[in-house]
A and B are shown apart, each in its own frame.
Chain A
Amino acid sequence: MNKSQFKRNLRDNPYLLAGMIIIGLVLLMIIVGLFWTPYDTTAMNASEKLQGISLRHIMGTDNMGRDVFSRVMYGSRITLLIAIGTVFIGAGLGTIIGAVTGYFGGMLDEVVMRVVDALFAFPSILLALVIVSVFGTGWIQLLISLGIAFMPSFARIVRGEVLRCKNMDYVENARLQGVSNLRMIFVHILPNIKGVLASSILIGFNNAVLAEAGLSYLGVGSQPPYASLGKMLSDAQQYMFTTPSYVLCPGIVIVLMVLGFAFLGEGISRWK
């Protein structure tokens, strides 16, 4: 991939460009938020409750007089962290399980894939609720439960790809040279399926942001006073008529994050 090829790809691929711009903006907001927020994210100010958009508060304030923009900066950081963690756990475990079962096949494959299928049939939000109800609420529990919930789809994709590759000539060739099984899986086969893996990882990000938002809306994510985008929406809902900005701003940030990852995924799958 040289520079001109990259430029041509960006020009012919509006999805990739749009995705990079949106995710770039969101990342910028999060990185700035690490060092500086306009106001303290938990500082309440009784005299400035439920204000609309203004120069002092560019996304208005909430029902406790906290600055919505500062809280959105903090909340989207948590959302992104949980999404990264979820995809890391899900894709990591899923890749290992899918690659090993697909490569070796046999009884192991049958048993493990039955369990994976059972997990797959289980809606991820429900699985996350089971795990949260066992281990309690909080963002670490949320991360682990979403990671487990996302594992089956990665396992299935990787298994299918490994099955496709395992009888190809290059694998035969490597086998004749005496390559060990583990080295075969991780050094020879996996690099050849990285394209499929990359776009499913981006779709995973997209779904993880949606799932995190939904679960923290239900109140099982990070706990107050810490901000999370989903929780802000559920708090804001009753003030929707008086202060629409309080509902709209966190919601639009969620939509932008999801849209950004979706565009990136679409762009990468169209990469020439």
Chain B
Amino acid sequence: MKYAMKKLLMMLGTLLVVSLCVFLAFSVIPGDPALRKLGTEASPELVEQMRQEMGLNDPLIVRYGRWFIAFLGGDFGISYNYSTPVKEMIANKIPITLTMAIMAFLMTVLISFPLGIITAKHENGILDRTILVINQVIMAVPPFFSGILITFVFGLILRLFTPGGFVSYTQNFGKFIRYLFFPSLAIALPKIAMTVKMLRGSLIDEASKDYARTAYSRGNNTNGVLYRHVLKNALIPVITFLGMALADMVAGSIVIEQVFSIPGISRILLTSIGNRDYPVVEAIIMGIAIIVMVVNFLVDIIYRIVDPRIGLEDE
């Protein structure tokens, strides 16, 4: 528990650092939000009054505190361009991004674990070599290009889905999941390749250690040694990697949403960057950052469960 508390505190510390960085980055931008809101024709008195109203005349640290507390309370401010609360704009988009990331993550685990184990078991066999080469190539294909290729092959030639025919989860959940299958696959492909490579290396490494030899000498067969002894130790570095990969998938979905024309978080983010609609950009960036931090926290906890030695020296 002490370990979990410590990691939780560290996560909150990181959250403070990140939020301060995001806030500062968007406050040093030249341009007056009050002037933007009123238009350049506004009289100086009116602008001054607006500045008072928006609290822009307060010291930076006060503004940061106010913004951060409001943010934690779920109030993300009001969009400059649409004058609607940011929360309404993004609330129903977040499930799309999250669903895609989670599906991609499940695919990664389900496909890469068996492949990693098979290749490690038959090290330097034909299958192992073939998968290794395919892996190298897949790792080099950027997700958006594999997304385009997937649209071409599965969408336009095989007609397994309609490109651009996105269905919202509020209308038809089954169709929603079916449409997101291929985008998720595009996100997952490079991660699958990396995980296979990593798990294979880690398994081969662990299998050459003394405890594996001891396990053999006690009469275990290959599968016994592999599943009862080696796999658990080999998973430790893979878990760290998968945690980072999940965070990457959340961010990577920004590009993939563009490829498959999914009206998710990414379209709002990109148009807001183009329109300099900062409250929206801040909210989305912070939202994704928080997701990433929570994922990292969970990975630390899982890590500790898999390997109880970790974090012992801190206690």
A126 in contact with B285 (CB, 8 Å)? yes
Q: Mark B115-153, 1 if CB is under 8 A from A, else 0.
A: 000000000000000000000110111111100110110
B152 in contact with A117 (CB, 8 Å)? no
C-alpha gap A240/B150 in the complex (Å) = 11
Q: Tell me which residues across on chain B come within 8 A of A134, comparing CB atoms.
A: 25-26, 28-29
Interface-facing stretch out of B88-96, B219-227, B233-241, B250-258: B250-258
A118 in contact with B17 (CB, 8 Å)? yes
Candidates B139, B142, B148, B269; contact of A129 at CB < 8 Å: B269
- A55 near B: Cβ within 8 Å? no
Given A118-B17, A233-B148; A130-B25 close (CB under 8 Å): yes
> In residues 26-56 of chain A, which contact B (Cβ within 8 Å)?
none
C-alpha gap A62/B114 in the complex (Å) = 43
- A181 near B: Cβ within 8 Å? no
CB distance from B158 to the nearest CB of A (A): 13
C-alpha gap A117/B292 in the complex (Å) = 12
B255 in contact with A218 (CB, 8 Å)? yes
> In residues 82-136 of chain A, which contact B (Cβ within 8 Å)?
114-115, 117-118, 121-123, 125-126, 129-134
B152 in contact with A244 (CB, 8 Å)? yes
CB distance from B178 to the nearest CB of A (A): 21
- B310 near A: Cβ within 8 Å? no
Given A130-B22, A254-B145; A220-B273 close (CB under 8 Å): yes
C-alpha gap A262/B181 in the complex (Å) = 28
Candidates A114, A213, A251, A256; contact of B13 at CB < 8 Å: A114
B251 in contact with A123 (CB, 8 Å)? yes
Max chain A Cβ within 10 angstroms of own Cβ: one of B144, B251, B292, B293:
B144
A121 in contact with B140 (CB, 8 Å)? no
Q: Tell me which residues across on chain B come within 8 A of A206, comparing CB atoms.
A: 140
Q: Tell me which residues across on chain B come within 8 A of A133, comparing CB atoms.
A: 272-273, 276, 278, 281
- A65 near B: Cβ within 8 Å? no
C-alpha gap A256/B140 in the complex (Å) = 8
B152 in contact with A247 (CB, 8 Å)? yes
A247 in contact with B142 (CB, 8 Å)? no
C-alpha gap A122/B295 in the complex (Å) = 12
- A139 near B: Cβ within 8 Å? no
Given A129-B273, A255-B141; A121-B296 close (CB under 8 Å): yes
C-alpha gap A149/B169 in the complex (Å) = 34
B251 in contact with A126 (CB, 8 Å)? yes
- B18 near A: Cβ within 8 Å? yes
> In residues 5-60 of chain B, which contact A (Cβ within 8 Å)?
13-14, 17-18, 21-22, 25-26, 28-29
Taking Cβ atoms with an 8 Å cutoff, the residues of B that contact A are 13-14, 17-18, 21-22, 25-26, 28-29, 136-137, 139-145, 148-149, 151-152, 156, 247-248, 250-252, 254-255, 258-259, 269-270, 272-273, 276, 278, 281, 285, 288-289, 292-293, 296
Q: Which 7 A-B pairs have the closest CB atoms?
A: A123-B251, A258-B140, A259-B140, A133-B273, A251-B145, A118-B17, A118-B14
Q: List 6 A-B contacts (CB under 8 A).
A: A114-B14, A121-B293, A126-B289, A132-B273, A214-B144, A237-B148
Other 12 A-B pairs with CB < 8 A, given A121-B289, A129-B285, A255-B142: A123-B292, A126-B289, A131-B25, A217-B142, A220-B273, A241-B156, A251-B149, A255-B141, A258-B140, A259-B137, A262-B139, A263-B136
